[in-house]
Chains A and B, each alone.
Chain A
């Protein structure tokens, strides 16, 4: 009976510690993902700035993502970072499109 109790305790301990490690690694992975999104958004925004096509909202969203990340709110940080990346890429797409599209607006 004593052996059975020891086995039960040991199994529970391993299960709990394994679960905790898994949660910690999930949080770390999410943190890495958010940081990667932020880095990608910053890089895209820098390109848009160089092309004089950056959008104000990208910077605002990046600030939101960084603030949420600092507060360990990974969910909010990810949402803001994804949106920042989206708007930064949209600004670059606009710059690409306008490279030729502006000519159609010149009166002649």
Chain B
């Protein structure tokens, strides 16, 4: 009897460990479809503004004069500036870097790691003997804001090859692990409590979390990337934030973006 129980527990754990990403994604989407049965799945790309009519109305008014517009213009100009060797960002990406954000993050077999758009931008610079940009700096935000802008209307189609499964699983674990003094996981706020109020703020659903970055946050008074938000989220629950573009955050972005497969990109965006 004990042996049988042991076998069943082992099989159960194997099932947990090796659930395939597509089953995960279907269950993830189903969770939000049931929780927010009156919200169209695609509307979650607008985050909390898909869940609260009054806040949505305010946000739409703000979007009439988008605060990220200058960042897109700056990014367009920076993107076109040739490197000192005569090459440019366009030479590093498919389609000259126009409308490619939906391909990121991607798993790179050669380095056996996840490559985000920000990392690809810096790899491009370093390959052309240019210094890497600060991941939390304005120049990186401007360039990625422009690249995101050119991908508006595209849909995420992230692929996870067998070699990328470990990175995906690590990102998944990070998303569901509680951390910090408050003992919160990403999923505590954005799954369990999604749609509820945290003080005056409505908590958004993770099913639209990857679509709109980089974003202008009024709290930041600038455009910033997804990893800046990861750091902020971790710190809000009392955990020490990790370095931007650290392996753990890139894996988290890989998992989260895969969960957003099929969602329309609408970045850059503005958020409170």
Contact = CB atoms under 8 A, between A and B. Distances in A.
Interface stretch (B42-50, B59-67, B233-241): B233-241
Given A55-B240, A56-B238, A105 B185 contact: yes
A73 interface: no
Given A52-B248, A56-B181, A103 B176 contact: yes
A41 B16 CA distance: 35
A59 B178 contact: no
A106 B176 contact: yes
Contacts of B179: 52-53, 94, 98
B191 interface: yes
B257 to A, nearest CB: 17
B177 interface: yes
Interface string B22-40: 0110011011000000000
B contacts with A: majority SS: helix
Contacts of B24: 106
Contacts of B240: 49, 54-56, 59
Contacts of A101: 177-178
B135 interface: no
Interface core residue of A54, A55, A59, A107 (most chain B CB under 10 Å): A107
Contacts of B178: 94, 98, 101-102
B27 A108 contact: yes
Interface string A52-74: 11111101000000000000000
Given A107-B28, A107-B31, A55 B180 contact: yes
A57 B27 contact: no
A87 interface: yes
Contacts of A94: 178-179, 183
B87 to A, nearest CB: 37
Interface residues of B, number: 28
B173 interface: yes
A56 B30 contact: no
Interface core residue of A57, A98, A102 (most chain B CB under 10 Å): A102
Contacts of A52: 174, 179, 242, 248
A50 B54 CA distance: 43
A59 B241 CA distance: 13
A107 B30 contact: yes
A53 B187 contact: no
B250 interface: no
Nearest to B174: A52
Interface core residue of B27, B28, B31, B181 (most chain A CB under 10 Å): B181
A61 B176 CA distance: 28
B16 A103 contact: yes
A101 B178 CA distance: 9
B80 interface: no
A105 B176 contact: yes
B28 A53 contact: no
Interface core residue of B30, B174, B176 (most chain A CB under 10 Å): B176
A106 B173 CA distance: 9
B271 interface: no
Nearest to B249: A52
12 contacts: A49-B240, A52-B174, A55-B180, A55-B239, A57-B181, A59-B240, A105-B191, A106-B19, A106-B24, A106-B172, A107-B191, A108-B27
Interface of B: 16, 19, 23-24, 27-28, 30-31, 172-174, 176-181, 183, 185, 187, 191-192, 235, 238-240, 242, 248
